[in-house]
Amino acid sequence: PPLYKQRYQFVKDLVEKYKPKKVADLGCADCRLLWMLKFCSCIEVLAGLDISASVMEEKMHTLSPLPFDYLQPSERSLTVTLHHGSVAHKDPCMLGFDLVTCIELIEHLEESELKKFPEVVFGFMAPSMVVISTPNSEFNPLLPGVVLNRHPDHKFEWNQAQFQSWALEAARCYDYSVEFTGVGHPPKGMENVGFCTQIGVFVRKYPRSGGSVQYEKPTEAVYKTVFKAVY
Ligand code: SAM
């Protein structure tokens, strides 16, 4: 399967293993991952965030309930919400999530946004688990036609050491552990190149203290809600 499908499947497998109830996808683009996750029966709250409202709006209708959903109401409740905003800004609507996914997002961030990202995601949102994927530049020579970057909008592409030192530093600052994996295997005999897409899976070390404290962080709403569906 194409690489993007392998990335989505990686997230879906993780959801099926850890059964998070509330999942947020940052940089959700055309909502394809959210659409896939809507079929995971453990999920009760799904949220998407993107800085481009137009790319989200393209396919957001696919997140609406179908006639079948009304005829056969299921036991679980599911709320799907899409927000327009930046991962460089904190908004209380992103609090209380179990899993936050950032698939092929960080390489699109400006330097100033990337600097704020760890504090927003690990410090403020502080979910139990965070998944971050990004291209592995060491794999680029194996890709036909890739000279410098895989995509002109990429602000950077990191090798394994660069991604891992950034991730380890974020994990250390905000009390997470991190494990590295990926999708897209290198050819036999070239294992040291690493995966085509590198992935960090972060797990918060300590449980959130005192139940509702997280919801009381005094932060003003800055994201704009562009879609909401209740199943
Ligand atoms: N996650 C999707 C996937 O894997 O198919 C889309 C990845 S796309 C390559 C990167 C997305 O990040 C784009 O939709 C872009 O608009 C969004 N993005 C870029 N900067 C952002 C920011 N500061 N805050 C939120 N989203 C951002």
Asked if residue 4 has its Cβ within 6 Å of ligand 1, the reply is yes
pLDDT the model gives residue 147? 73
Q: Which ipTM did the prediction report?
A: 0.99
For the cut 90, the answer to whether the pLDDT of residue 68 exceeds it is no
CATH number of the structural domain spanning residue 112? 3.40.50.150
Q: pLDDT tens for residues 28-54?
A: 999 999 999 999 999 999 999 999 999
Domain that holds residue 168: 3-230
Band of residue 20 on the pLDDT scale cut at 50, 70, 90: very high
Mutate to test the pocket of ligand 1, among 51, 84, 117 (most ligand atoms within 8 A of CB): 51
Q: Compute, in angstroms, the gap from residue 25 CA to the centroid of ligand 1.
A: 10
The residue whose C-alpha atom lies closest to atom 3 belonging to ligand 1 is 103
- List of residues 6+ apart from 80 with CB closer than 8 A: 34, 38, 46, 47, 48, 63, 227, 228, 229, 231
For the cut 80, the answer to whether the pLDDT of residue 168 exceeds it is yes
Buried b (16+ CB within 10 A) or exposed e, 203-231: ebeeeeeeeeebeeeeeeeebeebbebeb
CA distance 185 to 190: 9
pLDDT the model gives residue 226? 97
CA distances 56 to 32, 48, 73, 89, 180, Å, are 10, 9, 26, 18, 29
Q: pLDDT tens for residues 83-104?
A: 999 999 999 999 999 999 999 9
Question: What's the average model confidence in pLDDT over 143-169?
Answer: 91
182 vs 145 pLDDT, higher one: 182
For the cut 90, the answer to whether the pLDDT of residue 70 exceeds it is no
Asked if residue 51 has its Cβ within 6 Å of ligand 1, the reply is yes
214 vs 124 pLDDT, higher one: 124
Number of folded domains that form the chain: 1
Asked if residue 24 has its Cβ within 6 Å of ligand 1, the reply is no
Q: Which single residue is written with the structure tokens 């800004």? A: 89
Considering the chain, what percentage of its residues have pLDDT values greater than 90? 84
Three-class DSSP category at 120? helix
Q: Compute, in angstroms, the gap from residue 70 CA to the centroid of ligand 1.
A: 32
pLDDT the model gives residue 27? 98
Band of residue 187 on the pLDDT scale cut at 50, 70, 90: very high
pLDDT the model gives residue 217? 62
For the cut 80, the answer to whether the pLDDT of residue 212 exceeds it is no
Atom of ligand 1 nearest to the CA of 55: 14
Q: What is the four-CA torsion angle of 29, 142, 184, 87, rounded to 10 degrees? A: -30
pLDDT the model gives residue 206? 87
Asked if residue 52 has its Cβ within 6 Å of ligand 1, the reply is yes
Mutate to test the pocket of ligand 1, among 58, 101, 104, 108 (most ligand atoms within 8 A of CB): 108
pLDDT the model gives residue 145? 82
Mean pLDDT of the chain: 93
CA distance 166 to 131: 14
Using alpha carbons only, what angle is made at residue 223 by residues 218 and 226, rounded to the nearest 5 degrees?
140
Considering the chain, what percentage of its residues have pLDDT values greater than 70? 95
